[in-house]
Amino acid sequence: MRTDDLIAALAADAQTVSNPIGRTLWLALTGGAVVAALIFFFGIGFRLDLASALETPRFLFKCALTLTLLVSAMGLMLHIARPEAVPPAWAMALAAAPLLLAIAAIAELMVVPSSDWTKRLVGTNALVCLVLIPALSAAPLAALLLALRQGAPAHPMLAGAVAGLVAASVGATLYATHCQDDSPLFVATWYVIAVMIVTLVGALIGARLLRW
C-alpha cells in the first residue's frame, strides 16, 4: 500500500473519533470508585466510632493524606496518558503526599513517647490493611488501565504505575474510614506497603497492556 492510499483510508475514517482521553479517564475513575465504594459499604463498612474519630487530628490527617495522593496522582495521569512530555509541576506534585506523611511521622515520633512507638506502628489490623486496600483498588485499577489503552502514554510502565497509584489512593481513602489505626507511623508503614503493591501491579500490567 502506498502512503497516499493509506491516507485516503484514514481520511475516509475521519468521522470516527473517540472521546477525548481526559473524559475517558475521569469516567473510568468515577466508575471504578463507585464499584469500590459499593464493595466497601456492603462488605466492610465505616468504623463504629466514625463520628468521634472525625474530631481527631490523626484521623483527619489520614484522610487528607490519601486524598492528596488521589488528586496529585490523577492530575499526573491525565498528562501521562498523552504522548507529550509531562509538565514538571505535575511530576513534582506527586511528592506532596510522601512529604506530608514524612512530616507527620516525624511529628508523631516527637509527640509520642518512644516506648509507644512500636505499638503505634504495629497497630491492630495491619494484615487487614494489606489485604483490603489492594482489594478495594482492584476495580479502579482495572477501569483506569482499560481507559489508558485509549491513551498514548510515552512510557507504558510508568503510566501503569500511576494508574496503580490513583487506584490505590481510592482504595486507601475508603479503607481509612474503616481502619482503627490512625497513627502516622502505622500509615507510613502499612498503607505505604499496600499502595506500593497496587502500584507495582499497575506497572507490570501497564508495561504489557499499554504499548501502542
Interface residues with another protein (CB under 8 A)?
Answer: 1-22, 81-85, 150-152, 154, 211-212
Supply the minimum distance, in Å, between the C-beta of residue 11 and another protein.
Answer: 4
Judged by beta carbon, residue 159 or residue 187, the one nearer another protein is: 159
**Nearest CB to another protein, comparing residues 81 and 174:** 81
DSSP 84: S
CA distances 93 to 56, 88, 146, 181, Å, are: 27, 8, 25, 27
State which residue, 74 or 133, has the beta carbon closest to another protein.
74
Shortest reach from residue 181's CB to another protein, in Å:
41
Distance in Å, CB of 159 to another protein, minimum:
12
Give the nearest distance from C-beta 30 to another protein in angstroms.
Answer: 18
Contacts 24+ apart (CB under 8 A), 154-158: 154/80, 154/83, 154/84, 154/85, 155/80, 156/206, 156/207, 156/208, 156/209, 156/210, 156/211, 156/212, 157/203, 157/204, 157/206, 157/207, 157/210, 158/80, 158/203, 158/206
C-alpha cell of residue 92: 513534582
Nearest to 203 by CA among 160, 155, 146, 167: 160
Cα 164 from Cα 140, distance rounded (Å): 9
Q: How far apart are CA 119 and CA 138, in angstroms?
A: 30
CB nearer another protein, residue 128 or residue 152: 152
Q: Which is nearer to another protein, 46 or 212 (CB)?
A: 212
Would you state the cell numbers that stand for residue 74, as one nine-digit string?
Answer: 490523577
Q: Which is nearer to another protein, 22 or 98 (CB)?
A: 22
CB of 73 to another protein, least distance (A): 19
* Nearest distance in Å: CB 16, another protein: 5
